[in-house]
Amino acid sequence: MRAPQDRTARLRNRLMGHEPSVCHERAAIVTEVYERLSGTLSPILLRAHALAAVLDRMSIFIGPDELIVGNQASRPRLAPIFPEYSW
C-alpha cells in the first residue's frame, strides 16, 4: 500500500501540470439556453432550465487517486464563466 503523502504529491503534480485558463463550457451551455428560451419563460424558470442544462451537459472528470470528486470546469485549473450573473 502506498503512503498518503505519495498520493498527495501525485495529485498536486497532476494539478500543477495544467495551465491556468478560462473554461467557456458552462457559458456556452447557459447562453444557448437563454437564446433558445428567452422571452418564453419567467426569469426563474429560465434560470432553472439553464441550470438543468449545465448539470446535464457539463463534462465530468474523475482523476486517478482522487477521493473527493467534482468539478466546475472542463478540466483542472480552469475558471468557469457564469454569464447568468452578469449583464
Residue 10 is assigned to a structural domain of this protein:
no
In a domain, 3, yes or no: no
Whether residue 43 is predicted with pLDDT greater than 70 in this model: the reply is: yes
For the segment 63-73, the average pLDDT, to the nearest whole number, is: 88
CA distance 17 to 12: 8
All cell numbers assigned to 50: 439553464
pTM summary value: 0.79
Which residues span the domain enclosing 53?
23-75
For residues 37-55, average pLDDT? 95
Q: How confident is the model at residue 87 (pLDDT cuts 50, 70, 90)?
A: low
**Number of structural domains, the chain?**
1
Q: How far apart are CA 75 and CA 87, in angstroms?
A: 26
73 pLDDT more than 80: yes
Please enumerate in sequence order all residues whose Cβ is within 8 A of that of 24, keeping only pairs 6 or more positions apart, or say none.
Answer: 81
Residue 83, in any domain of the structure: no
